[in-house]
Chains A and B, each alone.
Chain A
Amino acid sequence: MKPLHELTVQEVHEGYRNHTFTCVQLVQHFLDRIKKYNPRLNIYLALNEHALEQAAAVDREIVEKGIDRELLGIPLAIKDNFLTTGLTTTASSYILKGFMPQYDSTVTEKLLAAGAIFLGKTNMDSFAHGSSTETSDFGPTLNPWNPKHLPGGSSGGSAAAIAAQLATAALGSETAGSIRQPAAWVGITGFKPTYGRSSRYGVIAMASSTDSPGPLARTVADAALITQVIAGQDVKDATTSPLPVENYLGSLNKPDLQGLKIALVKEYLLPEMRSDVKELILAAADKLRSLGATVEEISLMDPQYAIGVYTVVQRSEVSSNLSRFDGIRFGHDRSAFGQETKRRIMLGTYTLSAGYYDAFYKKAQAVRTKIIEEFAEVFKTYDAVIGAVSPGPALPIGATKDQPMFGEMEDILVEASSIAGLTSAGIPCGFVDGLPIGLQITCDQFQEEKALMIADCYQQNTSFNLFPDLDQTL
């Protein structure tokens, strides 16, 4: 039998059903691993002290009723920007150190209602401001493949929890690349639902107009299951969509991709991109062809414009969203903000100032509309757009030093799809220098089913979905 930490959600449920192991055993197994590896990797910021009691309750439930909840007894790692009662929530910021939420976020509430057990809260870039976890006020998380490298971010802790096999699955959130990029850098599956598909209520806001909660998981199938649980309209979030949630699990396990048209964006094979990374993407395109899809090269707006738009819109929203931490409540004054946070607040405040609003914010929104229109045009012909998630593999620790645009440069290939509110899967498609490379499969808004279906088919027909042996890598 596989070790417990290598099991997918489906395999855990099989184990429960066959009484191969109990939920208490599984949770204890993860807690032991966390105890062993977390001090080095700095993945979890807080652990759930009641996890074992909750696991015991799950075991009783299984005896009484069997498994009739989608995530019953599934140990999850939760990004620290989701409010969870009973578990401190800091968004990796010193200003919220020790903050105990008064309410639960809608998506974590849904996960709990589906029977999940939260192992703990994971490290991230402070207030999600970054793509490395280096901006965390509690120190960076290390990449389980190579601790000299970064795990990416902002959901770096949740991504590393899966790669290091310190949870069965994890919850993250993406504003622009914050799920897909760390998933790519640690070689796991990440899925960003359409903006408005999963509720933002109770998620410490970064950029309100692009934040989107989603899963980080061992497989596309696990990601689909978690998305199924968290998706849907929320009366507490006016930006969630009333569209019905499709059956994501039902769309999986397709034998091939016959009849699908996929676009490979030329501009996303950046001139400065390493040739071995480009080759992996082209090989992925060939793989999709061999699975029956038509893959054609297309041209889109230079991704640098998306960076400009994203930087202005995101900084503007950040400066506003963080103004509630005014020093009167929450225990710390604004000097407790980290460098990157201060930098973003200042830039955002500037772009919204009288006289600059039109030149920056308004213009950015106009370009955003252009990008949305451009994608809409592409999706008239194509089912999906593919490309690399990141220009290269995980960068070494310290790479963000004196690089205020670090995150944006690393997220250059995912920002356009984020500001257009699209859905996108990030999955491993190979390795360079012993570090994973990620492929993104992006579909039109509310086409989660299609993105998951293509990603699942690709993943089942490739063998890049590997996990590091921590005793060797650390």
Chain B
Amino acid sequence: MKITPLIGLEVHLELETKSKMFCGCPADHFGKKPNTQTCPVCLGLPGALPVPNKKAIESCLQIGLALQCSINTISKFDRKQYFYPDLAKGYQISQYDEPFCSDGFLFLDSGKKIGIERVHLEEDTGKLQHKTLNGQKVTLVDYNRGGVPLVEIVSRPDLSSSAEAKEFLKKIHEIIRALGVSSVDLEKGQMRLEPTVNLCLENEIGSHYTPLVEIKNINSFNFASQAIEFEITRQAEEFSQTGIEKSSTNKTTRGYDAVKKNTFLQRSKEEAKDYRYFPEPDIPPFIIDAGYVEKLRQKLPLLPDQEIANLEKLGIDKKDAKILVSSNNQVALQTIKDYSTNSIVDIQKLASLIVNGKINSDQNLIEQYDKLTKIGTTDRTELTKVVREVLATHPGLVAEYQGGKASLAGFFVGQAMKATRGTADPQTLASLVADLLS
């Protein structure tokens, strides 16, 4: 039986705008004193109304453009309704059927095209803290994060292995960083991953699909990869035992336990949520002008794949180029660009030295390069004197050389090098020996 995993990814990214999505509170919430960055809007006080953040919409459109999406002319926000204590209004302002961006794609290094279903904008929720206060177990709510702009990228289920999923995630990570809209620090929760996994099992009878499983809120690429691996095995086993196939009602939600390295059931179909989406009446729909989109497209920075291709054109090894781009070493990339037209510096060597950690990016790159690749004195006038002296002290060997023992050339070069205490360029010495003896 042939098993093909069908993996889709939902990626949530916190944007680093100055203010929150729908109010003027600072969006930078990490490590701030609880509930110090709130206002009537993000606390969901009665009467407060959301006013969308233009910069956040622009960032969302940039992400969409970088992922080759089409930008929808008409777009709107919707209310996604559910109860949770960290959700101040009882609904999250998100986008349902008319997201800002849809139908994009991303290429893996293998050339495989991964579809991007949509890129939309929403608001983050607050955070719960479970604590013991005065001997009582309590849950506290911090609304500082509530209302921070969050972009959701949804891929099509085109990925067929955990390795592909990891590569996809890394690429998204690099693209977002290149766009400069978020530092996408996974440890700070700025990038959260939710793989959806099922399997296509083919045997002589036909194809069978296992029920969809969504794995919630993973904050590392390795965990995502491990969770997917675990699911693939688990679903194949489950199918062999139960034979249950995917239906429109049997999608389940699972969590990932990083310690046990397994996934566990969180919500089954009986508890499936009905979010009762409807258009957000407090925010009029958006009409996005094609000219504006074009302007944004032109303002896009160089994206990782383009940057790698450019480095390759300079003769840099693809492997090195990828490492350079993914390490996001701007100083190194700029230096390479600056010296790419300079014939003295071997760009490929410079790149390789940086990649291999021989050159420290905190100091002057070219000085270090010179030291590491020093070719020695090439001053022919000065070296001619040295070679003449060496030849003069070994008249017998000179005669032997002239008699046909060409291998003695190496000896003369070595003696000259010794006389310069190793500071001469061996190639220059070799050519002088040949010239002076001919």
B278 near A326 (CB under 8 angstroms)?
no
Nearest-CB residue, chain B, relative to A81: B47
Residue B414 interfacial (CB < 8 Å):
no
In the complex, chain A residues 171-207 whose Cβ is within 8 Å of any chain B Cβ: 200-205, 207
> Of A89, A207, A320, A353, which is within 8 A of B79 by CB?
A320
Q: A205-B47, A320-B278 are in contact. Are A103 and B40 (CB under 8 A)?
A: yes
Closest A residue by C-beta to B77: A238
Is A324 part of the contact surface with B, judged by Cβ < 8 Å? yes
Contact residues in B for A466 (Cβ distance below 8 Å): none
In the assembled complex, which residues on chain B have CB atoms less than 8 Å from the CB atom of A99?
46
Residues of A within 8 A of B277 (CB): 352, 357
B281 touching A317, Cβ below 8 Å: yes
Q: A208 contacts B282, CB within 8 Å?
A: yes
Q: Which partner residue on chain B sits nearest A93 by CB separation? A: B46
Chain B residues whose CB sits within 8 angstroms of the CB of A237 once the complex forms:
49, 51, 282
How would you classify the secondary structure of chain B's contact residues: helix, strand, loop or mixed?
A: loop
Contacts of B282 in A (CB 8 A): 208, 237-239
User: Which of B40, B50, B90, B91 sits near A238, CB closer than 8 Å?
Assistant: B50
A204 surroundings in chain B (CB, below 8 A): 46-47
What's the nearest-Cβ distance from chain B to residue A335, in Å? Answer: 15
Pairwise interchain contact A235-B46, C-beta atoms closer than 8 A: no
Contact indicator A323/B89 (Cβ below 8 Å): yes
B283 at interface by CB-CB < 8 Å: yes
A residues near B88, Cβ cutoff 8 Å: 324
Q: How far is the CA of A202 from the CA of B45 in the complex (A)?
A: 9
Shortest B281–chain A CB gap in Å is: 4
Q: Which residues of B contact A357 (CB under 8 A)?
A: 276-278
* Binary CB contact string for chain B from 31 to 57 against chain A (1 if under 8 A, 0 otherwise): 000000000100011111111100000
Cβ of B45: which chain A residues have Cβ within 8 Å of it? 101-103
Q: Are B49 and A236 in contact (CB under 8 A)?
A: yes
In the bound assembly, the distance between CA atoms of A208 and B281 in angstroms comes to: 6
Which partner residue on chain B sits nearest A127 by CB separation?
B46
- Chain B positions within 8 Å of A82 at CB level: 47
Which of A102, A205, A207, A361 is in CB contact (< 8 Å) with B278? A361
Q: How far is the CA of A357 from the CA of B284 in the complex (A)?
A: 20
- What CA separation (Å) do A423 and B274 show in the bound complex? 37
B47 touches A238 (CB 8 A): no
Interchain CB contact under 8 A, B51 and A235: yes
Which of B44, B50, B274 contacts A324 (CB under 8 A)?
Answer: B44
Residue A91 lies at the interface, judged by CB distance under 8 Å to chain B:
yes
| B residues in contact with A202, CB < 8 Å | 40, 47-48
- Are A323 and B47 closer than 8 Å at their CB atoms? no
A308 to B79, CA, bound (A): 22
B81 CB–A CB distance under 8 Å: yes
* Docked complex Cα distance between A349 and B51 (Å): 25
Contact residues in A for B90 (Cβ distance below 8 Å): 320, 322-324, 326
Q: Is B107 an interface residue (CB 8 A)?
A: no
Closest to A330 in B: B46
Binary CB contact string for chain A from 65 to 91 against chain B (1 if under 8 A, 0 otherwise): 000000000000000011100000101
A237, B278: Cα distance in complex, Å: 19
Residue A354 CB within 8 A of the other chain: yes
B83 at the interface (CB under 8 A from A): yes
In the complex, the answer to whether B40 meets A102 with C-beta atoms within 8 Å is yes
A-B interface, 9 closest residue pairs, ranked by CB to CB distance from nearest: A323-B90, A208-B281, A352-B276, A209-B281, A202-B47, A204-B46, A354-B274, A324-B44, A324-B89
Chain B residues in contact with chain A, CB under 8 A?
40, 44-52, 79, 81, 83, 85, 88-91, 141, 274, 276-278, 281-284
What are 10 of the A-B contact pairs (CB < 8 Å)?
Answer: A83-B46, A103-B45, A201-B47, A238-B52, A239-B281, A239-B283, A317-B281, A323-B90, A324-B44, A357-B277
Interface residues of A (CB under 8 A from B): 81-83, 89, 91, 96, 99, 101-103, 105, 200-205, 207-209, 235-239, 316-317, 319-320, 322-324, 326, 328, 349, 352-354, 357, 361
A324-B90, A349-B276 given; 12 more Cβ-contact pairs under 8 Å: A99-B46, A101-B47, A102-B45, A201-B47, A202-B47, A238-B283, A239-B49, A239-B281, A320-B81, A323-B83, A323-B91, A328-B141
